[in-house]
Amino acid sequence: MLVPAPDPSRRFLPPEPAPAQASPILVPGRNCWRVERAERVGVIVDAEDYFAVAKAAMRRARRSIYLTAWDFDARIRLTPQMRRPRRPDRLGNLLNWLAATRPDLTIHVLKWDYAELFDLARWSQPLFLRNWLSHPRLHYRLDSDHPTGACHHQKMLIVDDQLAFCGGLDITANRWDTRAHRADEPLRRQPDGAPYEPFHDVMMAVDGDAARALGDLFRERWRRATGCTLTPPGEMKPERLGLKRLKSDRPKPDPWPPNLTPLARGIGVGIARTDPRWNGRDEVREVEALHVEAIAAARRFIYLESQYFASVAVADAIKARLAEPDGPEVVVVNPVRTTSWLENTVMLGSRARLTRELREADRHGRFRLYVALTDGGACITVHAKVMVVDDRLLRIGSANLNNRSMGLDSECDLAIEAPHGAEGGAESRAESRAVRHAIADVRNGLIAEHLGVAPESVAAELRRRGSLIRTIETLRRSDGRTLKPLEDPEPGTLAAAVADARVFDPERPVDPTELVLRFLPSRIPRRHHWIALFAILLMVVGFWGLWNHTPLRDWAQLDVVMDAMGRLQGVALGPLWLILLYVAGGFVMFPLMLLIAATAIVMGPWWGVPTAMGGALASATVLFWVGRRLGRKPIERYGGALVRRVSQRLGDSGVLTVVGVRVVPVAPFTVVNLVAGASRIRFLDYLIGTMLGMMPGIIAFNLLGHQLERVLTEPTSGEVALLAAVAAVALGLGWVGNAVMKKTRGSGKP
């Protein structure tokens, strides 16, 4: 259901106009980039409606379609609720069809580069391959213009610079759902048929100058990512497109879908961004400023929906208002959990800590954090990023309530603010009342959706009680669709440590060295170096002895490791657990080649190569920074002549020596990693050398292990011959590596 246009005659919420001296919240250059006029503003709740509206808008495009997202899945159907949808319905097919049938239309799709891993995981065509197979006027690109650990999180669709959508919804898998959010929804399926949990999100639609401004934002992102400058569709000359000049009096087609009812008309739209400091650019923290200043301006109610609740800046701003005797009520709606164990570890620990602090500061009982549930107590994934302040300001965008959305990830939020109207005439006051009722309708509609009641019931109860919290407490039920007060348990040791370190949720770009150091203890005093080094050397020797001269050596058998990997592969995020197994194995000197061989046989070459490489690099990285933390001189002093020789060669030759050490190991994997960290080598050189040096061996092991398994299960002459060929390739790689190393030594190079 789309949000309907407000009816000024309704009086569900007692209006409370802002005082005459109140200043506007939206101030360009302070908490937003620009405030641009939109002739129409719409709000779309949940993906059933958004995907249908987006499809209709793209079918009405004539000059340009810009689509940027955190993730993008060309396989999804946009209108699965229709038995006979207007073809084509799959996103990739639709875009290709539009480019092929509209000779004056160009389409540009920009996706965060790291999200390309999702395509590999779901066996979908990688974006670069899709770009080759698509129409020449359909351009797919990956955006890697971001700091280490950051992501491009903006979700925008811009059509002809006349209509734009912005909010929390990526046009990808695991997003489609109805506003009913039933626990058992037959149509809520991934492209491969697997079901997923109920999903809730919100988008805003704007046209006019506001849409053109978002077009400018996309074109700047495209230029940064590709180095190419896009011409705005309004400036495109028909001759460049091979078209005849259009008559000047011919009206431009309106891409606004007819089934999208505007929420407000003729209103300014604030555009707030987060853009990290990177590549010579200054940081932009408009999203954070808008949150903080909007909270400070609230008089009665603050309503928030977010995937997370982990932003220290937002929590501090709320805490200050809760300390006031007559401050506003604050209601936050979150999901019970996220779909990823890593996100749960990172974000739920922070949420528990911030919630505890806010409840301690809430002396007047004005703070509530609810989780959204549906029938049977099933969790609804609340993915929306919404803020409603009184009936004055509505913000919808991509920014979560976490630290990284305030200063690390690229974000874009849209906000509308009710005109003041107090000093104007009757027309101005009527306009202000209409916008205020529209904003209140959005808030009441969202609360009603979560409670499973009609929006009119929420509005009437709010009018009767004058309290948002008491309204929710009165209407919420003990089962079925409801909002339930959150009772997060105290975070465990790991979750608390991750939350405090902010390794995965930093407020600003963090150097890779700093990311690792946040996990490690503070620098070891110089007088204790010898104790630490002695303990490490004792552990290394001890583990070597355990794996070779005790019953533990029975664990270091290929069949035992394969059995363990097979069990891990069957759980959620199996490859990630296997990578963590490599990291743990590095600390106890477990044989690396045994792990690689087992990975090859269990997972096959397609998954085995990236998993083994990821595990080896992860283990090497962690041990490298442990060694760097300890320092070069102590390790060389207590490590002996072999360690000093390896350290000297690594520090002097960089990538080439690392490649050589990986091809022809001169010391155990764990020792090389520790020594490399303690040497003078740059981390990037070390990482590149490790990847180049280990890749041939990992590929050979995977091909050899996979083919060996096939021979054991199907011992045909063809399979045996193929095994011999693979073995010859593997031996050849080893011979080439030795030859390169001998030549390097013979030339006198380090």
pLDDT for 554-587, tens place per residue? 444 445 555 555 555 555 555 676 777 777 777 6
Nearest one of 203, 172, 204 to 78, comparing CA atoms: 172
Least trusted range by pLDDT, from 122-131, 276-285, 389-398, 684-693: 122-131
Q: Coil, strand, or helix at residue 257?
A: coil
Cα–Cα distance between 530 and 635 in angstroms, integer? 9
Residue 270: its pLDDT value, please? 98
pLDDT tens, position by position, 430-484? 888 999 999 999 999 999 999 999 999 999 999 999 999 999 999 999 888 999 9
Architecture of domain 279-494: 2-Layer Sandwich (3.30)
pLDDT tens, position by position, 327-343? 999 999 999 987 665 56
pLDDT > 90? residue 256? yes
Model confidence at 8, pLDDT cuts 50, 70, 90, reads very low
**448-457 LR contacts (CB < 8 Å, sep 24+):** 449/45, 449/179, 449/181, 449/200, 450/333, 450/370, 450/372, 450/380, 450/481, 450/482, 450/483, 451/475, 451/476, 451/477, 451/481, 451/482, 451/483, 452/477, 452/480, 452/481, 452/482, 455/12, 456/12
Axis crossing angle, helix 592-630 with helix 683-713, rounded to the nearest 10: 170
Type of residue numbered 383: H
Please say whether the dihedral angle defined by the alpha carbons of residues 493, 499, 500 and 502, taken in this order, is positive or negative.
Answer: positive
Residue 133: its pLDDT value, please? 72
pLDDT > 70? residue 120? no
Question: Dihedrals φ, ψ of 187, to 5°?
Answer: -85, -10
The CATH 3.30.870.10 domain(s) of the chain lie at: 37-236+254-266, 279-494
Buried b (16+ CB within 10 A) or exposed e, 114-144: bbbebbeeeebbebeebeeebbebbbbbbbe
Rounded to 5°, angle at Cα 267 from 266 and 270 = 145
pLDDT tens, position by position, 423-440? 566 777 888 899 999 999
pLDDT > 80? residue 251? no
Residue 248: its pLDDT value, please? 46
Q: Coil, strand, or helix at residue 423?
A: coil
Q: 367 near 191, Cβ under 8 Å?
A: no
pLDDT tens, position by position, 689-719? 778 777 776 776 665 555 444 444 455 555 5
Nearest one of 357, 446, 404 to 45, comparing CA atoms: 446
Task: Mention every residue, 6+ apart, whose C-beta is less than 8 A from residue 281.
Answer: 275
CA 381 to chain centre: 15
236-245, 627-636, 683-692: which has the highest mean pLDDT? 683-692
Model confidence at 348, pLDDT cuts 50, 70, 90, reads confident
Residue 582: its pLDDT value, please? 74
Matching CATH number, 37-236+254-266, of 3.40.30.120, 3.30.870.10, 3.90.800.10, 3.40.50.2000 = 3.30.870.10
Mean pLDDT over the full length of the chain:
78
Tokens 């540009």 sit at which residue?
Answer: 108
Residue 502: its pLDDT value, please? 59
